[in-house]
Amino acid sequence: MTKQTHVFQAEVAQLLHLVTHSLYSNPDIFVRELVSNASDACDKLRFEALNAPELFEDAPELDIRVSFDKEAKTITIADNGIGLTEQEAIDNLGTIAKSGTRDFVSKLSGDQQKDSQLIGQFGVGFYSGYIVAHTIAVESRRAGAAKDQGVRWVSAGTGEFEVEAVTCEKRGTSITLHLRDDAMDYLSHFKLKSVIEKYSDHISLPILMQQEEWDKDKGEYVQMPDWNAVNSASALWTRAKKDISDEQYQDFYKNLSHDQDNPLAWTHNRVEGSTEYTQLLYVPAKARQDLWSRETKAGIKLYVKRVFITDDADTLMPTYLRFVQGVVDSADLPLNVSRELLQESRDMKAIREGNTRRVLSMLEDLANKSASDAPHAESDPAAENDISDVTAKEDGDAPAPKEDVYGQFYAAFGSVLKEGLGEDFANRDKLAKLLRFASNHTDTVSVSFADYKARMKVGQEAIYYITADSQAAAKNSPQLEVFKKKGIEVLLMTDRVDEWGLSFLPEFEGTPLQSVAKGAVDLGALQDEDEKKAAETAAESFKPMLDKLKDVLKDKAKDVRVTTRLVDSPACLVVEDGEYSTQLARMLKQAGQQAPEIKPILEVNAEHPLVKKLEGSPSFNDLAHILFDQALLAEGGLPEDPASYVRRVNTLLV
Ligand code: ADP
């Protein structure tokens, strides 16, 4: 049998350097990380054994054993889970697989103090062991492999690790930490037990430790041969709400999500009826880095009667709620349910609907709580038996200002939520209520459609909005001028998904939504009769010039007309109702997608000196092109031929 030496992947080496060279505010976390790996390994075995019960060999009872040896100065964390083959040990313990850990490494600042604080909150899986150990030895045998197919992996956490084949009587993995001199206080039953209670109490397997008893003759504690569970080994979600503290909910979340922050809110319910299940769902405080990809897995773990089945069941939550993390435990699904079955199952569909409803009403509550202290009647289906709906409190500190919570949620996940307008027709009205926007009257993204409606002017018949690339562009857009003048509020939509999302939302509670950059400006009863008259007269007297403009710009503009929507600007571009805006078309093009060629309509302000000068000008053609290109620039677009634009302007300047 030969030993092989391997080098760590560069990122692992970097991580290990940090772990071994830093002082930790919270070294305890290594226990949580290693116990959690052990528990995952048992879950994996249980799942594989559903179809191959022989993997259990003669030891079907799964557990995790934590022991220590004062003489040898070691701690050992052993599980009888799935185990590792030699190749798996090389791959999994030599490279970083988990995206959370990779994110962590990418966040490292090089400032050791800051970085080690980060690690304390984060945990970096297996490598956390090096916080307390100068050397780690792993012995493992894959379930189902022959006894001489075991592997021994050893590393001092510098650049390399050694691997050799060994014989392992028992299936599973045992990890032995050779403690550093400054970590000797972990060689204590009391210490280890209290750390386990703190971080790993919810682990659904028994975590066993050897009893200790006082030996009068020796004058010290000695370990007894029998092993006892030190955790309550009950899956947190199966307990009654009254028995779970906020801190336990938060700790459970952190374990589940590998997030270092507390969640913003959670909801925990036992749902009864034709489909029975328990749901414990969390809204995180911050967006994960991969949130923007619609391919990102939902963060929901599926259990069936407390047996872990999969964390890859995208059918448990709609895509637009992929930021939600949590657990669903079904009482109805068969244990050996296959992926295909999961997709089609009626129970899964019911669970997904129930989850969606729950999350939306939790968000509604958050929004209402943030908006006011007024008690809010929950509109929940009677079948759902509420265990708890909680808004997380900041522990220790004074509670964050109430308005912040929904705002914080919305800043992190608002854009993702909007995808639901196109994805989930059944809940569109609920979703619409959850949306928030800035407006020309409010800079913060805080205006709901309901707020807007409550502030509408007498005679106003539509909810007006504008889409643009940025808040500044939206606010200063020429199309807004008449609305500003008349003091009418316009919602500013600057999110990439806004226009697409709103195309699925023609109205809000009976009031139509109207883009101020689409169609003819129609202020209805808000429009002055005199203004209307003046515009008609202008259109009449401008007709010859409009025709000339149309002719000069025929390749660029679909039409040229006089408008009342402008006050200070000479011209602007609009599109027909129902057409893509020029921004959306531009965005689709940039994203390499097919976008319809959109010829906008050029609207001119008959009152503007530039427009007045146009008539009879010897530079009519150049001015016409400049007018058009400037209108394009004003909304964040680029002239098709920028060099010609510059040349024309320069000619005029000279
Ligand atoms: P992760 O977050 O993926 O658990 P770790 O660095 O903690 O990251 O572990 C890396 C990989 O090593 C795990 O994904 C798993 O495949 C393997 N591993 C770690 N601990 C064990 C164990 N006790 N039993 C079996 N495999 C393990």
Sheet containing 507-508, strands listed edge to edge, beginning at the edge strand earlier in sequence: 442-447, 437-439, 491-493, 463-467, 511-515, 507-508
Task: Report pLDDT for 584.
Answer: 77
Task: Report pLDDT for 119.
Answer: 63
Q: Check if 93 has its Cβ closer than 6 Å to any atom of ligand 1.
A: yes
Domain end: 204, 229, 254, which one?
A: 229
Q: Which residue blocks in 99-210 are alpha helix, DSSP H?
A: 99-107, 112-122, 189-200
Task: Report pLDDT for 355.
Answer: 95
What is the whole-number distance in angstroms between the Cα of residue 188 and the centre of ligand 1?
25
Residue type, 260: Q
What is the whole-number distance in angstroms between the Cα of residue 96 and the centre of ligand 1?
10
Task: Report pLDDT for 321.
Answer: 95
Counting every residue written for the chain, the total comes to 654
Alpha-carbon distances, residue 581 vs 481, 530, 585, 632 (angstroms): 18, 30, 6, 12
* pLDDT range class, residue 630, cuts 50, 70, 90: very high
Sheet containing 307-310, strands listed edge to edge, beginning at the edge strand earlier in sequence: 307-310, 299-304, 325-330, 277-283, 265-271, 384-391
* pLDDT range class, residue 101, cuts 50, 70, 90: low
Mean pLDDT over 136-150 rounds to 97
The Cα–Cα gap between 203 and 246 comes to: 17
DSSP secondary structure letters along 495-533: STTHHHHHTT-SEETTEEEEETTBSS---GGGS-HHHHH
Tell me: the pLDDT tens digits for 338-358? Answer: 666 677 788 888 999 999 999
The Cα–Cα gap between 496 and 502 comes to: 11
Q: Which residue has the tokens 């022991």?
A: 67
Task: Report pLDDT for 336.
Answer: 57
Residue 288: how many other CB atoms lie within 10 Å? 20
Q: Check if 99 has its Cβ closer than 6 Å to any atom of ligand 1.
A: no
Helix (H) or strand (E) holding 49: helix 29-49
CB 178 within 8 A of CB 208: no
The Cα–Cα gap between 185 and 211 comes to: 18
Tell me: the pLDDT tens digits for 562-616? Answer: 888 888 999 999 888 878 877 777 777 777 777 777 789 999 998 899 888 888 8
Q: Check if 34 has its Cβ closer than 6 Å to any atom of ligand 1.
A: no
What atom of ligand 1 comes closest to residue 77's alpha carbon?
A: 23
Residues 389, 487, single domain; the answer is no
Which of 239, 453, 238 minimizes the C-alpha distance to 331?
A: 238
DSSP tally for the chain: helices H, then strands E: 20, 24
Question: In terms of residue numbers, what domain contains 370?
Answer: 236-417
Residues 400, 427, single domain; the answer is no
**The tokens of 285 are what?**
């405080």
DSSP secondary structure letters along 374-389: S-------TTEEEEEE
Q: Which residue has the tokens 């190749």?
A: 87
Residues 33, 76, single domain; the answer is yes
Task: Report pLDDT for 400.
Answer: 45
Domain end: 525, 547, 573, which one?
A: 525
Q: Check if 129 has its Cβ closer than 6 Å to any atom of ligand 1.
A: no
Task: Report pLDDT for 97.
Answer: 67
Look at 231 and 398; give whichever has higher pLDDT.
231
CB 104 within 8 A of CB 98: no
What is the whole-number distance in angstroms between the Cα of residue 128 and the centre of ligand 1?
12
What is the whole-number distance in angstroms between the Cα of residue 134 and the centre of ligand 1?
19
Residues 578, 623, single domain; the answer is yes
Alpha-carbon distances, residue 472 vs 476, 477, 502, 600 (angstroms): 6, 8, 20, 22
Range of 21-35, 73-87, 339-353, 369-383 with top mean pLDDT: 73-87
pLDDT score of 157 more than 70: yes
pLDDT score of 381 more than 50: no
Residue 629's domain is classified under what CATH number? 1.20.120.790
Residues 36, 181, single domain; the answer is yes
| Residues forming a β-bridge with 585 | none
Residue 334's domain is classified under what CATH number? 3.30.230.80
Q: Which of 220-234, 392-406, 630-644 has the lowest mean pLDDT?
A: 392-406
What is the whole-number distance in angstroms between the Cα of residue 284 and the centre of ligand 1?
24
Supply the residue whose CA is at minimum distance from atom 11 of ligand 1. 92
Q: Check if 299 has its Cβ closer than 6 Å to any atom of ligand 1.
A: no
Task: Report pLDDT for 586.
Answer: 76
Supply the residue whose CA is at minimum distance from atom 20 of ligand 1. 37
Q: Which residue blocks in 519-619 are alpha helix, DSSP H?
A: 529-552, 582-590, 609-614
Residues 114, 144, single domain; the answer is yes
Residue 241: how many other CB atoms lie within 10 Å? 14
CB 127 within 8 A of CB 16: yes
Alpha-carbon distances, residue 435 vs 91, 421, 423, 424, 440 (angstroms): 45, 10, 15, 15, 17
Look at 338 and 389; give whichever has higher pLDDT.
338
- Overall domain count for the chain: 4
The model's pTM is: 0.66
CB 306 within 8 A of CB 234: no
Mutate to test the pocket of ligand 1, among 11, 32, 37, 80 (most ligand atoms within 8 A of CB): 37
* pLDDT range class, residue 123, cuts 50, 70, 90: low
CB 467 within 8 A of CB 493: yes
Average pLDDT, the chain: 85
What is the whole-number distance in angstroms between the Cα of residue 37 and the centre of ligand 1?
5
Residue 53: how many other CB atoms lie within 10 Å? 10
Residues 508, 373, single domain; the answer is no
What is the whole-number distance in angstroms between the Cα of residue 87 and the centre of ligand 1?
13
Residues 532, 468, single domain; the answer is no
The Cα–Cα gap between 52 and 46 comes to: 9
| Residues forming a β-bridge with 469 | none
Residue 174's domain is classified under what CATH number? 3.30.565.10
What is the whole-number distance in angstroms between the Cα of residue 38 and the centre of ligand 1?
8
Domain end: 496, 525, 554, which one?
A: 525
Q: Check if 37 has its Cβ closer than 6 Å to any atom of ligand 1.
A: yes
Residues 131, 191, single domain; the answer is yes
Residues 481, 601, single domain; the answer is no
Q: Check if 82 has its Cβ closer than 6 Å to any atom of ligand 1.
A: yes
Residues 330, 455, single domain; the answer is no
Residues 161, 204, single domain; the answer is yes
pLDDT score of 396 more than 80: no
Residue type, 561: R
Q: Check if 81 has its Cβ closer than 6 Å to any atom of ligand 1.
A: yes
Q: Check if 92 has its Cβ closer than 6 Å to any atom of ligand 1.
A: yes
Residue 427's domain is classified under what CATH number? 3.40.50.11260
Q: Check if 174 has its Cβ closer than 6 Å to any atom of ligand 1.
A: no
